[in-house]
Amino acid sequence: MMKKAEVVIIPSPGVGHLVSTLEFAKLLINRNNHLRITILVIKLPHTTETDIYTKSLSNSNSLNIINLPECSLPTNSNLGSAMNAILEAQKQNVKQAVADLITEREDGVLAAFVVDLLTCSALTLLMLLENSPSLRLCSSLPVLLFLV
């Protein structure tokens, strides 16, 4: 049996990003049955929507959902600094989850990373990994133009 190519997707925190990411993953799997997609879920502190949603889903041979541990934030954070703090706090968890995935694979290679542009700090982490898969950014054109 042919080994499935592993794709790791890191959506931005929040259930809205997670729902669209899962639909994207399902489309990829339906088009190519040689893919195995792992979604690393970053939860927002003090919310339950993501937990409720991911518990309603079931992992399959082709789709794996990993809920990263929740991190705490300073109570006086505004939205922008809170998001940066969440992503910074999750770097080690993302690194460990990716390292575990690489270890689990016989060939030790991941085929691709798909990263939401809002999780840019994860890009720094991924560049540090010895594994150098294809990297895709999934954000709308207006967001990308805003950053230029």
Give the Cα separation of 28 and 35 in Å (integer).
8
Choose the catalytic residue: 17, 46, 51, 100. 17
Q: What's the burial of 46, exposed, middle or buried (CB within 10 Å: 0-12/13-18/19+)?
A: exposed
Known catalytic residue: 17?
yes
CA dihedral 7, 8, 13, 15 (to 10 degrees): 40
Determine whether 100 is an active site residue.
no
Question: Exposed, middle or buried: residue 126 (CB in 10 Å: 0-12, 13-18, 19+)?
Answer: buried
Catalytic residue among 34, 46, 107, 116: 116
Distance of alpha carbon 59 from alpha carbon 90, whole angstroms: 22
Residues involved in catalysis:
17, 116
